[in-house]
Amino acid sequence: MNGTVTPSFGDRLAAAGADRGRLCVGIDPHPGLLRDWGLTVDARGLADFSRICVEAFADSAALVKPQVAFFERYGSAGYAVLEETIRALRDAGCLVLADAKRGDIGSTMAAYADAWLDDESPLAVDAVTVSPYLGFGSLDPAVSLALEKGRGVFVLAATSNPEGPEVQRADRADGVSVAQYVVDSCADRNRPFVEAGGYGPCGVVVGATVTAAPLLDRLGGPVLLPGVGAQGAGPDDVALLTRGVEPLAFANVSRGVLRSGPNVHDLRKACAQQARIFAGPAA
């Protein structure tokens, strides 16, 4: 605990991971998957897909990550489905991470923060992914609101896409890579929580496929690791990158679970299997 009435997002996520396994399950309703599940590629099919995912994951996954883009493509109808999906997951006690990758400046960033992290928003989630590439300080509205509301942010640091290294591995004037600077900036925000004996709310996204990952030992907050399964990384890669910070290291698996659908029992079984695969040693 961090000494406040409300546990930090980092504390809540660590507890969920210890209970349900350190796995983040993606809800990625891309058109091909809707077809594979025998659903229509429209808002109705999206709603059916999401309902099945909620039934399968709400009481079995520690962290569930809807990919916002696949809901946005259906306009207001898609957002209505997203709102209901978030509500149903959170009502069941599941932590929800919106994969929105928002990043802007000033009042616009504050509006994004309100949309995803404010109690009064119909889109309010437990955490949201954000991009620091307008400068880490541009994220202050989201970081501040996360601190205030007991929610979290996952900041893109070293992503698994092949285009990422040209920016993220570049060195700043002080010789520190951009990715390491992002991690260190999150560590600074997490420090008061760590000093109080808990975990902070500022997490990072580090692809499990990266070959020159930033050091995570001082982070004191969550680590989300995409790139496993279909993109080639496995449990050994995750373990190597997150040695010493295991309680808050969550492999992100989407296709590896969702291809077991649409049967709810099969999806739950796949989720549990993936959680065991990426469990790693206790810290």
Distance CA 80, CA 193 (A): 35
- For residues 45 and 35, what is the distance between their CA atoms, to the nearest angstrom? 9
Instruction: Select from 185, 79, 205 the least CA-distant residue to 140.
Output: 185
Q: Using alpha carbons only, give the angle 16, 111, 3 rounded to the nearest 5 degrees.
A: 40
Q: Provide the token pair at 60.
A: 């079995």
Q: What are phi and psi of 261, to 5 degrees?
A: -75, 175
DSSP tag of 83: H
Task: Name the residues annotated as catalytic.
Answer: 101
Is 246 strand, coil or helix? helix
Of the candidates 205, 252, 203, the residue with the CA atom closest to the CA atom of residue 27: 252
